[in-house]
């Protein structure tokens, strides 16, 4: 099914219901559907054919998100371009994706003016606002095609989105997602998590990433999406209470900020049915705190190549039958989801016994069609008929998946394998630690030394020797950091993931 299915399904339930809301102003389902038809006609008039690539460069915005469905209605391919990326990275993505059209917010005029002249394949620019010398305005662009015939089509090969990945470790790759991939993701979401009544979803995280694709099942249920144009933890809490929000998503870094916000205790969060966390490992200690202070937390684990739902853990699974927290599960990534097969494989692509560590590999309709125009990378990622995630983990006796590290982040010190995620969990158990990252640095004695960079809770101080002793007590001396650095903040990607490549570079001076 096309991406337009989710919107059209919601509209069929009640075209007058609020669909996309920003700052108290709502577009109804009927209005959003009408907008998407207008966008499809304008794209066709601009020469966009089925299968052509259309980029959207925008912060969270209802009209920009509506463009996603207009692109799909025209049979074109949605290319989310993250506005927080550097200009060079976005230029590289637009070129890699062969984008012919870019729809952008006026806030990014300077960026677009900088990169567009060097992108000959980019023939059409559309400005979400009034027109200027750089590009025609959005309304004028739509008006020019007002009387054109309907423009509905299917994309060739059913590829509906191209998502950039891998830019922090080398040239980015374009993940080809099909309508089947996103249909599987939506089906898993609806069967794995609680949905009672018409949902209200709060999108603070970028709609170009997890917050965006999680909207699809919400729309299919006729739910309302409350959009935040920029991150603001205090306003996030205020909007949950005001709109009686039922579902939302944040990465762990922002959840830690919610836990530290003074408004949390006086905010009514009783409407929440499902507060998703994911996109990065979460401290088990902080998760236990969130379960007590926020409510129904729900985990999801995936990656661009298998979006969102490789494994899931519902709010109920976080607790024992008596209502107490199931502490043994908090360090897991949940169970493999219903429409996905997960295996733990060794270096020879052989499955290993339960409890033994290996690479997490996946099969199923959730897995991408491949990397755009990159058959070598596609073959490598799908060796042996499995999608190789690059994550190291194991399945426990209950069938819960535990992620212990990225394969490239494992530290080999003194001949022992040390998984950085295990050390990070031990560090995060200390009350003074707000966030942390563990990397391996070259060492003449150990080969690599376990090195931790920590960010402290506001207003706290900490002796690094005390912290080393704290970690040794929990996981032993081999895994304890040989070096600890205290930084005011950690370098992060546009979606909040800690950038270990930048940490290594800063620590080594290379």
Per-residue pLDDT of 255-273, as tens digits, reads: 989 999 999 999 999 999 9
Q: Decide: 100 and 121 in contact? Cβ < 8 Å.
A: yes
Q: Distance from first CA to last CA of the chain, Å, rounded?
A: 48
Judge whether residue 52 has pLDDT over 70.
yes
Question: Tens digit of pLDDT for each residue in 317-348?
Answer: 999 999 999 999 999 999 999 999 999 999 89
Q: Where are the beta strands (DSSP E) in 365-446?
A: 370-371, 387-395, 401-406, 411-413, 416-418, 433-443
Structure-block tokens of residue 481: 């950091």
Q: What is the mean pLDDT of residues 238-242?
A: 98
Rounded mean pLDDT of 116-132? Answer: 95
Residue 156's alpha-carbon distances to 53, 98, 159, in angstroms, are 12, 15, 7
Residue located via tokens 């006026």: 106
Q: What are phi and psi of 499, to 5 degrees?
A: -95, 95
Please give the distance of CA 134 from its chain centroid, rounded to a whole number. Answer: 31
CA 214 centroid distance within chain = 9
| The pLDDT value given to residue 93 | 92
For the chain, percent of residues with pLDDT exceeding 70 = 98
Most confident of 11-15, 154-158, 405-409: 11-15
pLDDT higher at 225 or 392: 225
pTM: 0.86
For each of the domains in the chain, give its residue range(s) and CATH number, in order of start.
22-178 (3.40.50.980), 410-508 (3.30.300.30)
Query: Quick check: helix, strand or coil at residue 81?
Result: strand
Q: How far is CA 387 from CA 35, 176, 179, 350, in A?
A: 37, 14, 18, 14
Tens digits of per-residue pLDDT, 356-391?
999 999 999 999 999 999 999 999 999 999 999 999
Confidence tier at 70 by pLDDT (50, 70, 90): very high
Q: Which residues, 6 or more positions from 468, have their beta carbon under 8 angstroms from its beta carbon? A: 480, 481, 484
Structure tokens that stand for 251 in this block:
């990465």
Q: What is the pLDDT of residue 475?
A: 87
């Amino acid at each position: 099914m096309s991406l337009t299915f989710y919107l059209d399904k919601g509209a069929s339930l009640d075209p007058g219901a609020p669909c996309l809301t920003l700052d108290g102003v709502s577009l109804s389902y009927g209005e959003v559907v009408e907008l998407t038809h207008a966008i499809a006609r304008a794209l066709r008039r601009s020469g966009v054919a089925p299968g052509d690539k259309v980029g959207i460069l925008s912060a969270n915005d209802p009209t920009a998100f509506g463009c996603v469905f207009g692109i799909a209605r025209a049979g074109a391919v949605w290319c989310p371009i993250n506005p927080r990326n550097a200009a060079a990275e976005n230029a590289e993505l637009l070129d890699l994706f062969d984008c012919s059209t870019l729809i952008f917010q006026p806030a990014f005029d300077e960026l677009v003016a900088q990169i567009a002249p060097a992108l000959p394949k980019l023939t059409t620019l559309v400005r979400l606002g009034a027109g200027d010398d750089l590009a025609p305005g959005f309304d004028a662009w739509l008006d020019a095609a007002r009387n054109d015939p309907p423009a509905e089509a299917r994309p060739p090969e059913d590829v509906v989105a191209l998502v950039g990945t891998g830019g922090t470790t080398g040239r980015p790759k374009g993940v080809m997602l099909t309508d089947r991939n996103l249909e599987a993701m939506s089906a898993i979401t609806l069967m794995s998590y609680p949905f009672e009544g018409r949902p209200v979803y709060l999108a603070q995280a970028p709609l170009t990433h997890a917050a965006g694709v999680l909207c699809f099942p919400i729309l299919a249920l006729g739910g309302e999406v409350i959009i935040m144009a920029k991150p603001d933890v205090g306003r996030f809490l205020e909007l949950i209470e005001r709109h009686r929000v039922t579902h939302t998503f944040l990465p762990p870094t922002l959840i830690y900020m919610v836990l530290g916000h003074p408004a949390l205790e006086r905010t009514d969060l009783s409407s929440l049915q499902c507060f998703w966390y994911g996109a990065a490992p979460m401290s088990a200690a902080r998760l236990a705190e969130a379960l007590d202070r926020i409510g129904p937390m729900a985990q999801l684990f995936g990656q661009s190549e298998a979006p969102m739902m490789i494994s899931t853990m519902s709010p109920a699974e976080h607790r024992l039958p008596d209502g107490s927290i199931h502490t043994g599960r908090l360090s897991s990534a949940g169970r493999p989801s219903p429409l996905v097969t997960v295996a733990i494989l060794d270096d020879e692509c052989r499955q290993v016994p339960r409890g033994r560590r290996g690479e997490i590999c996946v099969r199923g309709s959730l897995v991408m069609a491949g990397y755009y125009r990159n058959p070598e990378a596609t073959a490598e990622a799908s060796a042996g008929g499995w999608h190789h995630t690059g994550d190291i983990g194991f399945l426990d006796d209950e069938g819960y998946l535990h992620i212990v590290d990225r394969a490239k982040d494992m530290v080999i010190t003194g001949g022992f394998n040390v998984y950085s995620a295990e050390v990070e969990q031990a560090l995060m158990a200390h009350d003074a630690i707000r966030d942390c990252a563990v990397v391996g640095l070259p060492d003449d004695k150990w080969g690599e030394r376990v090195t931790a960079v920590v960010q402290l809770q506001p207003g706290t101080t900490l002796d690094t020797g005390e912290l080393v002793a704290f970690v040794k007590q929990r996981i032993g001396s081999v895994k304890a950091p040989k070096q600890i650095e205290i930084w005011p903040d950690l370098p992060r990607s546009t979606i909040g993931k800690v950038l270990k490549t930048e940490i290594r570079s800063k620590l080594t001076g290379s």
